[in-house]
Structure 1
Amino acid sequence: MQSSWLIQLAQDPKLKGGYNAMGFSQGAQFLRAVAQRCPSPPMKNLISIGGQHQGVYGLPRCPGESSHICDMIRKALNNGAYTDLMQKHLVQAQYWHDPLNDDLYKKHSRFLADINQERAVNETYKKNLQLLEKFIMVKFLQDTVVDPVDTEWFGFLKTGQAKETETLQDSVLYKEDRLGLAAMDKAGKLVFLASAGDHLQFTREWFNANLLPYLR
């Protein structure tokens, strides 16, 4: 993110009293980065709708864990995803997370590994995220676009393999509380919601019942 953009956000008079943020799909993790990097003006509630907070390791509608061809494709993508060229110019590469090459991911991921505190812990990021009143994460139960879908609730594939997933609460990020998520969970600040249907598919009624209260 450009510092000039963050300055514009901080100087917007309409936001000086704080604001609620709602991110759809990849926009959710980018808004979380705003919460971590730009605490002024204050973000009150962050609503993540189908966000990929631990990244992705798969292609839309091509599940690598159950398709040999799709698995070959996602492994092939690793050859280019962590090059400087891809990390600088391809948005999707910035949240590509290869569980089979964890050291490579942590070393070369310019965006996701940074905001997820997977290198050195930035205490400012951690403190700023905990300023949220609520961090709401929506997972789509029949999602065919995001792989693995557990990333929408901050879970992911276990390191060293590409089939079995773990929840946020079972992850190193949570156990070491590198982001402050464990503290937020204990304080009741994390909200996990599920919606039946595919990626970003929900009804007006579901939205009004489940998300609208956090925007008032």
Structure 2
Amino acid sequence: VKEMKELSGGYNIVGLSQGNLIGRAVLQYCDDGPPVKNFISLAGPHAGTASVPLCGSGIFCVIADALIKLEIYSDYVQAHLAPSGYIKIPTDMDDYLKGCRFLPKLNNEIPGERNATYKERFSSLENLVLIMFENDIVVIPRETSWFGYYPDGAFEPVLPPQQTKLYQEDWIGLKALDEAGRVKFVSVPGGHLGISNSDMRKHIVPYLKDKPSVSASLAATWHAIGEALGLMGNDVGVLLQSST
């Protein structure tokens, strides 16, 4: 990112599903990088997911699902299966905080290890657009797309983002962004990533400042969604667009 001249003046991120976590890692971890202006998130498991993501019926998926369910926070699973890095079992929080290698750090969840720089960078966004799909059964609960989640120790009720510890104690700056009016909580019909063209134009296009590139960005988003759903090849997950 730092070596891409076209992004030097700042850029926007459009994240798809787990690609949102990669986009946030770039935003929060990248030292001396160009600024991220707008972050548009579609179906991101920002607060984690409490279930194994849908994989399929092939032998690899059967083995992967079995490993995840048996030893989700083991070193082996964490090192070899990417989704294990953001699976958050609310009734197993001690092991999650100790063994999960990715999300606890990204969300500043580990007591005594919270990084003020991650919060500063996340709260520097001009706009954070969080799009949740009303019939999403891939990320569990669907409210994780808004940073909502289950309370520690139970699978009910689903807490809205404003009632989570991450928000109330403002671990990553979500509360600060929200109170400044820079968070848009958007709900659209459809399953995981099943966004319509009209909803894309309504909720995504306004934040792509470089108007001549909007059509290209929409086309790229559609293509990436197809890939994320397994229609066109490998999962892409993150789109970067210059904001200048």
Letter aligned with residue 88 of structure 1 = A
2:17 aligns to what?
Answer: 25
Distance in structure 2 (CA, Å) of the matches to 1:127 and 1:16 = 19
Letter aligned with residue 176 of structure 1 = E
Structure number with the bigger relative contact order (C-alpha 8 A, sep ≥ 6) is 2
Distance in structure 1 (CA, Å) of the matches to 2:73 and 2:7 = 36
Are positions 1:186 and 2:179 aligned together? yes
Unaligned runs of 5+ in 1: 1-8, 62-73
Distance in structure 2 (CA, Å) of the matches to 1:29 and 1:143 = 18
Count of residue pairs brought into register by the alignment:
197
Distance in structure 2 (CA, Å) of the matches to 1:75 and 1:122 = 34
C-alpha displacement of 1:59: 3.7
1:152 aligns to what?
Answer: 145
Are positions 1:101 and 2:92 aligned together? yes
User: Which secondary structure state, in structure 1, belongs to the residue aligned with residue 2 of structure 2?
Assistant: helix
TM-score by length of 2: 0.77
Letter aligned with residue 87 of structure 1 = Q
Within-5 A mapping of 1:47-86: 47-60=40-53, 77-86=68-77
Distance in structure 2 (CA, Å) of the matches to 1:77 and 1:14 = 40
Letter aligned with residue 90 of structure 2 = P
CA contact (8 A) 2:68 2:77 kept: no
1:210 aligns to what?
Answer: 203
C-alpha displacement of 1:48: 0.6
What is the percentage of aligned positions where both structures have the same residue? 37
CA contact (8 A) 1:44 1:133 kept: yes
Unaligned runs of 5+ in 2: 55-64, 210-244
Distance in structure 1 (CA, Å) of the matches to 2:126 and 2:171 = 19
Letter aligned with residue 99 of structure 1 = P
Distance in structure 1 (CA, Å) of the matches to 2:114 and 2:137 = 33
Letter aligned with residue 189 of structure 1 = R
C-alpha displacement of 1:124: 0.7
Letter aligned with residue 9 of structure 2 = G
C-alpha displacement of 1:79: 3.4
User: Which secondary structure state, in structure 2, belongs to the residue aligned with residue 199 of structure 1?
Assistant: coil
Q: Deviations over 1:73-97 (max 9, x none)?
A: x999453111111111211101010
Q: Deviations over 1:132-175 (max 9, x none)?
A: 11111100001122111110110111111123210110011111
User: Which secondary structure state, in structure 1, belongs to the residue aligned with residue 12 of structure 2?
Assistant: strand
Distance in structure 1 (CA, Å) of the matches to 2:161 and 2:76 = 31
Are positions 1:138 and 2:165 aligned together? no
1:195 aligns to what?
Answer: 188
Within-5 A mapping of 1:28-39: 28-38=20-30
2:104 aligns to what?
Answer: 113
